[in-house]
Amino acid sequence: MGLGIIVNAALKADVYWRQLLAISVAVAAGYCIYRGFRDFLEYPYIQLLVTYHFGFSRRALVGTIVSLFVDRVPAWLPFALGLAAIIAAAVLFAAAFRKVFGFKRENMPVLVFTAGSPLLFKGFVAAIGYFDIYGFIIGLALLVMPCASFFYVVAAAAGCVFLTLVHHVQIALYIPTIMIIVGCRYMLVRRLSAAEIGAVLLVLTAICGLAVAAQFFGSVPAPKDEFTSYLLSRSDAHADTPKWLQYAYVYYRPLSEEIADTWARLPTNALRFPLYAFLIALHWPLLQYFGRVVGAGADPTLRLFAKLSAIGVAVAYVAVFAMVFDYARWLGDLAACFVLLLFAFKQLPAAKAVAPIPLNDPTVFWAAAILSCIPKAGF
């Protein structure tokens, strides 16, 4: 009983919660160092080689930007850019958390369950070099930047166009969440003019049209031999040519083949579903807190908006899961989107105070402890 009193007191003082956050940072840093010394990022590498050299093609924007600075892409560049993106996301996350919650003692469990989850920053380390994190960065930026004028909507639209050109799957990954953030911070808290509503509808139509064009008309308009020769001319990692060059097919493969490949892999990939379910279950205290934030809306309209928004994001990811088989990545991106939604909904007018995640509940603490020690969701 004496030990229980001591542990309970430590939990209330948030000493152990700070230690869990430190463990999460150490695990993420260690795994990042491990990947930096061990892995050559094959698929992220080829994405830095592809440009608009042959005309419009999907997933070519980042490579085009890189080509403005280097003629030949070194093998370390995908890791360096990925690490820079993770650091930028961490800085923006800290700024957003401070703005929305504040680094108070009672908010430590929320910080540990979000920042320390293997589905968030440790998940981005597992997917280092991939472009998913750019959507998370733009969402965080929109949470912290001023939103007093229509320029806020313009900035969000520019971010969505950028994401669509980076990778068209962002139309389902992060763009719906970004639109919800704009709705929470700008559209729901003021009366919009007819011109503003028309501009928003026009932007949404343009973004959707761009995503459709990238998906169905974005194959590289050049023969494969000519395309691969161009990639080799831009590569400074010829020793690894047989590895990364195998991914050139993604710039030609139609959606029908991608879906067929996903469903062919389903029996094998389904073996990981229990692990994913276990990870989601460990986040149950955070999910309960998310529900309390949604239920605290100042009026029924806000509560309905929050509920429909969360459902809409989840449905978009169901479509992604059905089309592309990188389930661990998508689960991490879904978690990142729900963190963004939590931050956005917490800024909406509330009718009542939201009960925090309890500091002194041993079950909650041990769930957070397990999550803090897990390096990744499985890749």
pLDDT in tens, 77-113: 999 999 999 999 999 999 999 999 999 889 999 999 9
Q: Which two tokens stand for residue 152?
A: 């806020």
pLDDT, mean of residues 245-250:
88
pLDDT, mean of residues 227-232:
93
Residue 228 is assigned to a structural domain of this protein = no
d(CA 203, CA 160): 9
pLDDT one-digit tens code per residue, 308-351: 999 999 999 999 999 988 898 999 999 999 999 999 999 988 88
> Which among 82, 44, 79 is positioned nearest to 63, based on CA atoms?
44
| Range name among 1-15, 118-132, 204-218, 307-321 with the lowest pLDDT average | 1-15
> Which among 341, 326, 343, 337 is positioned nearest to 126, based on CA atoms?
326
Number of domains in the chain: 1
Residue 241 is assigned to a structural domain of this protein = no
CA 90 from centre of chain: 12
Contact indicator for 78, 49 with CB cutoff of 8 Å = no
Residue 245 is assigned to a structural domain of this protein = no
Has residue 10 got a pLDDT over 70?
no
Contact indicator for 117, 368 with CB cutoff of 8 Å = no
Residue 137 is assigned to a structural domain of this protein = yes
Q: What pLDDT sits at residue 170?
A: 93
Report the predicted TM-score, pTM, of the whole model to 2 decimal places: 0.92
pLDDT, mean of residues 165-188:
93
Has residue 301 got a pLDDT over 80?
yes
Residue 242 is assigned to a structural domain of this protein = no
State the pLDDT confidence band at 239, using cuts at 50, 70 and 90.
low
Quickly tell me which residue has 């990692």 as its tokens: 237
Residue 6 is assigned to a structural domain of this protein = yes
Q: What pLDDT sits at residue 1?
A: 47
pLDDT-above-90 percentage for the chain:
66
d(CA 112, CA 369): 9
d(CA 245, CA 376): 27
Residue 369 is assigned to a structural domain of this protein = yes
* Helix pair 175-182, 300-323: axis angle to 10 deg: 170
Range of the domain at 310: 2-40+75-219+254-373
**Torsion of Cα atoms, 327 then 330 then 332 then 334, to 10°:** -130
- Mean residue pLDDT of the chain comes to 90
d(CA 280, CA 335): 9
Burial of 55: CB neighbours in 10 Å, binned 0-12, 13-18, 19+: exposed
> Which among 79, 77, 76, 121 is positioned nearest to 97, based on CA atoms?
121
Q: Can you give the three-state secondary structure of the chain, one letter per residue? A: CHHHHHHHHHHHCCHHHHHHHHHHHHHHHHHHHHHHHHCCCHHHHHHHHCCCCCCCCCCCHHHHHHHCCCCCECCCHHHHHHHHHHHHHHHHHHHHHHHHCCCCHHHHHHHHHHHCCCCCHHHHHHCCCCCHHHHHHHHHHHHHCCCCCCHHHHHHHHHHHHHHHHCCCHHHHCHHHHHHHHHHHHHCCCCCCHHHHHHHHHHHHHHHHHHHHHHHHCCCCCCHHHHHHHHHHHECCHHHHHHHHHHHHHHCCCHHHHHHHHHHHHHHHHHHHHHHHHHHHHCHHHHHHHHHHHHCECCHHHHHHHHHHHHHHHHHHHHHHHHCCCHHHHHHHHHHHHHHHHHHHHCCCECCCCCCCCCCCHHHHHHHHHHHHCCCCCC
Q: What pLDDT sits at residue 270?
A: 87
More confident residue, 166 or 36: 166
Residue 378, sorted as left (phi over 0), alpha (psi -120 to 50) or beta, turns out to be: left
Q: What pLDDT sits at residue 13?
A: 53
Residue 132 is assigned to a structural domain of this protein = yes
d(CA 42, CA 145): 35
